[in-house]
Structure 1
């Protein structure tokens, strides 16, 4: 049935619209309010979210923030288990780039655009996607103790030098990126990690040390049990500030990006507040705070870092233009088999 507007009804609607515009509000979208549930990692990261996003930006809007703290594999499992429900338990999920791609490929995430998240217009092109915001990023580099590793490394292949046998460390939870790095020096690529397996078995024979977490690796570097490893540049900056005796080297194979992202499940209970939270996370002040406190680079182009801070957390412009990105489709298809090989063959 076709609906017709009377002159009176049209006048009332127009008046309402003008009144809304006069108040400076979007006539279609409601103002964010209520509670937003952020599924995220805990610790310092969650504290920084509270101090730099929730308290100064969301609370004055009338939005309360609560946290669902766990690792990202738990969040992915929860999103998948709840995706057919009318309402899920999270409004925002913090995920790695691989995790958000996997959830989007399974139809579980809301598509984003500048109408929902205006600050997306400032996001660096290399980091932008249609289903998540990049909250912070860094690159994969080599960390080494110059007291033990006399010559500054130039390649991932330097970890296989005989003189470093027994002093090379890898991290269990970083199985995917470790296999990838080994593949890059063994004839593989970002879409073919297979050559990295034989390369890592050779490292195993040399007495590689496997640590369960990033924190365990930091302790091993501090005590000089480990002298060289593959790690995210941001962690290197943090550990240097903590007094751990390490330097940072950029591998000639290229710098692979690590991106920490935030996404909104399709069945989020409070989407307006979720979009407001994502927009706040891309504001210059929170972006600068995460650079200062955690060593990650801002994901937006409208942040002016102090020169000394920029020199620590950002790679030179010529390197930034040559970042390597993981192929998320390849990883979605191979991750389970990579983890199985790592557990059974490399660790076993």
Structure 2
């Protein structure tokens, strides 16, 4: 694997994915701004992720050192559309964008973002090689696994594969997440035995569970509430999220899928027309600080992308992966996703959700 591999290696991934929120710091116009280290505008999802960016990265490693940090919060489709609309402008409105793996790849292939300048990111020397891409920098990673509520699904019937999850027998006890359409179609394709690019086979299987009455939730959080309330008993989700939900008292367990889990990477990209490119490199460097990575593991259950982060053994047991699980990891084909994304989303919205 090359240093700037555009794909994510099967074994190396686990060895080693709107409105401006406002300034995170507001100082006196003359004195504080004169001392400012610079400005950085971060495009991100809202909710817990935005809050934890501020808590674990922005406040300790940027704001406290004089940087003015602005969060531009929106869903990633809206932020990618905004980047596309701004592509011909000499200066855009964001310096860094947080996206999942397929979408980091997509915006780079569309010519919206620039190659990562790792020589401007000192902490990059500690990164897992598999998390250093030409098109983006990996922030956190996990994998998509079957999940179930043991109060709803008896342990004897607990899913041990994607095929078990996408079984029409569950009826309305199966929950599916709208914003996870890409990963859900790929997981269904694996369940159908068609591989990560077997989109048609995945769609056919999903139509069967839809006809059987599966529930569709708009967000990960809504899905979690459905589990908690016992409306649903089974579905798929990132292993990291399962840890978060368990910490919040939601009755949920995870299993490793026999087909091999789908990897998940979330990271940062830099638009070609970033208004404050030096702020972008400073932000990414702060993201790679060991303490920032350690705290994301604690707060969100995702694995660090640097080798010098210290994750407690008991936490690593909950969020990490066994060697045999790493061996069976399935990686999204980013090129195929990019090529077929419009038709996949059209099918999802007009047929599956209809």
Q: Answer whether TM exceeds 0.5 for this pair.
A: yes
Q: TM-score normalized by structure 2?
A: 0.85
Q: What is aligned with 1:184?
A: 190
Distance 1:161 1:105, change over 3 A: closer
Matches within 5 A, 1:6-21: none
Q: What is aligned with 1:331?
A: 337
Cα separation, 1, equivalents of 2:167 and 2:78: 38
Q: Is contact 1:113-1:120 (8 Å) kept?
A: no
Q: What is aligned with 1:313?
A: 319
> SS at the partner of 1:252?
coil
Distance 1:38 1:160, change over 3 A: closer
> How many corresponding residue pairs?
317
Equivalent residue for 1:97, pick from 94, 101, 105: 101
Q: Deviations over 1:269-305 (max 9, x none)?
A: 1111210110110111001111111111111122120
Cα separation, 2, equivalents of 1:321 and 1:66: 40
**Which deviates further from its counterpart, 141-150 or 237-246?**
141-150
Cα separation, 1, equivalents of 2:333 and 2:180: 16
For the pair 1:229 / 2:235, whether they are aligned, the reply is yes
Cα separation, 1, equivalents of 2:78 and 2:173: 33
Give how far 1:335 is off: 1.0
Q: Deviations over 1:51-106 (max 9, x none)?
A: 22112111344321111111111211111111221111001111111211111111
Equivalent residue for 2:165, pick from 147, 153, 159: 159
Which stretches of structure 1, 4 residues or more, deviate above 3 A after TM superposition?
160-163
Q: Deviations over 1:27-63 (max 9, x none)?
A: xxxxx93111111112221121112211211134432
Q: What is aligned with 1:11?
A: none
Give how far 1:318 is off: 3.2
Give how far 1:165 is off: 2.6
* Unpaired segments ≥5 residues, structure 1: 1-31
Cα separation, 2, equivalents of 1:86 and 1:193: 38
For the pair 1:238 / 2:237, whether they are aligned, the reply is no
Cα separation, 2, equivalents of 1:163 and 1:78: 42
Cα separation, 2, equivalents of 1:308 and 1:56: 26
For the pair 1:117 / 2:141, whether they are aligned, the reply is no
Matches within 5 A, 1:191-340: 191-340=197-346
Cα separation, 2, equivalents of 1:65 and 1:198: 46
For the pair 1:172 / 2:174, whether they are aligned, the reply is no
Q: Is contact 1:168-1:226 (8 Å) kept?
A: yes
> SS at the partner of 1:251?
coil
Q: What is aligned with 1:12?
A: none
**Which deviates further from its counterpart, 157-166 or 234-243?**
157-166
Distance 1:133 1:160, change over 3 A: closer
**Which deviates further from its counterpart, 110-119 or 128-137?**
110-119
Larger Rg: 1
**Which deviates further from its counterpart, 70-79 or 57-66?**
57-66
For the pair 1:83 / 2:87, whether they are aligned, the reply is yes
* Unpaired segments ≥5 residues, structure 2: 1-35
Q: What is aligned with 1:33?
A: 37
**Which deviates further from its counterpart, 145-154 or 294-303?**
145-154
Q: Is contact 2:169-2:212 (8 Å) kept?
A: no
Give how far 1:127 is off: 2.7
Q: Deviations over 1:122-144 (max 9, x none)?
A: 22233321121111111100110
Give how far 1:215 is off: 1.4
Q: TM-score normalized by structure 1?
A: 0.87
- RMSD over equivalenced CA pairs, Å: 1.6
Give how far 1:167 is off: 0.8
Equivalent residue for 1:54, pick from 55, 58, 69: 58
